[in-house]
Amino acid sequence: MSEFAVVALAFIVSWSLTAAVRRHALTTGMMDVPNSRSSHETPTPRGGGAAIVVTLCLASVALFAAEFVAWQAVAICCGPGAMVALVGYVDDRRGVSAGIRFLVHIVAAAIAVSLTWPWSGLAAVSAEVQMLSALVAVVGIGWMINLYNFMDGIDGLAGSEATFVFGAAALLVWLTGGSSYWVALLGASASGVAGFLWWNWPPARIFMGDVGSGFVGFLIAGFALLTWKEGLLPLATWVILVSLFVADATVTLVRRMIRRERWYAAHRSHAYQWLARSSLGHGGVTWLSWVWNLVVLGPAAYWSVIMPGQAYVLAAVVLSVSVVLALILGAGRPE
């Protein structure tokens, strides 16, 4: 089976599995019932992200069997990635304490770092700096898992973001003549999420749930480390690609913590949530995210790849602009 066939099949498998999960959720009552903190108004099936998890794990195994991807990529998907997905699935069904979720996320992040270690880019620095960098990476991966969950609050947004990030990364690797197996794996990841997005597009017929959002956030971080380790994409490029989500989630979290609110509790004060309650609605905000990603972040990410000496400065500028934009749009403003 060629890598292109895996990319095409990822969409078909994900689309079909999402439909099956939706039927199962409707039958068993696994529904997201609206409350005062919800951004939707009608009960909707949840847990559709399970289709993404199964599809991307199968795609990574298929590409590994065809000798297209390295074992570390498969291990990240099917090992710690599956751990994050499993605790998310249990949380979707019956709830899991914040402590257990935190422990699983940190352990999964530590495993991901160990799977990508050592980092050649840090070979010239001291052992202490290397260990500090590893700890920062663990915290960063843990935050990526959770921020993606926080940003999965309106129809189509989280699925669109993942489709863009994976797809853009695949395109950048291809344009720069990088490894074809990474083009295939990243392309299959984008395709697999797109199969779910078909059902999640506004008005959503099923939600991703914690099972999918945590897994996707983890996978973006894990693939970022692996492609950086293999010299395919700078970490700065990934920062640019995810800056929309990182800025909104981080600004909101910091402002809520400053006000000493229960920052881990459900709320509706992200910038995207304020926008969704405006005349734009869910569909308008999701389309707006696509415009920003394609017009601003995509070209900026490409520039960071072809001009690696300027990549981290460019990432800092893009992230700063994203933070200012999030503040202007009300991220973290009291409800």
Is residue 335 a part of any domain in this protein?
no
How much is the CA Rg of the chain, to the nearest whole Å?
19
The amino acid that residue 180 corresponds to is: S
Res. 37 pLDDT band, cuts 50 70 90: low
Is residue 291 a part of any domain in this protein?
yes
Is residue 334 a part of any domain in this protein?
no
- Number of structural domains (the chain) is 1
Given a cut of 60, is residue 36 above it in pLDDT? Answer: no
Distance CA 14, CA 275 (A): 29
Average pLDDT for 122-144:
84
Return the closest-CA partner of residue 249 out of 237, 261, 267: 267
Given a cut of 70, is residue 311 above it in pLDDT? Answer: yes
Is residue 268 a part of any domain in this protein?
yes
Res. 312 pLDDT band, cuts 50 70 90: very high
Is residue 86 a part of any domain in this protein?
yes
Given a cut of 90, is residue 5 above it in pLDDT? Answer: no
Beta strands in the chain (DSSP E): 31-32, 44-45
The amino acid that residue 168 corresponds to is: A
Secondary structure (H, E, C), 125-183: CCHHHHHHHHHHHHHHHHHHHHHHHHHCCCCCHHHHHHHHHHHHHHHHHHHCCCCHHHH
**Is 127 or 320 the better-scoring residue by pLDDT?**
320
**Please, what's the largest Cα pairwise distance for the chain?**
58
**Is 180 or 151 the better-scoring residue by pLDDT?**
151
Distance CA 70, CA 232 (A): 14
Is residue 13 a part of any domain in this protein?
yes
Average pLDDT for 128-142:
89
Is residue 277 a part of any domain in this protein?
yes
Is residue 333 a part of any domain in this protein?
no
Give the model confidence (pLDDT) of 240-297 as tens digits. Answer: 999 999 999 999 999 999 998 887 777 889 999 999 999 899 999 999 999 999 999 9
Give the model confidence (pLDDT) of 194-208 as tens digits. Answer: 999 999 999 999 999
Q: What are phi and psi of 32, to 5 degrees?
A: -95, 105
Given a cut of 60, is residue 185 above it in pLDDT? Answer: yes
**Domain of 289?**
3-32+39-328
Given a cut of 70, is residue 225 above it in pLDDT? Answer: yes
Q: Is 249 helix (H, G, I), strand (E, B) or coil?
A: helix
Q: Give the model's pLDDT for residue 15.
A: 98
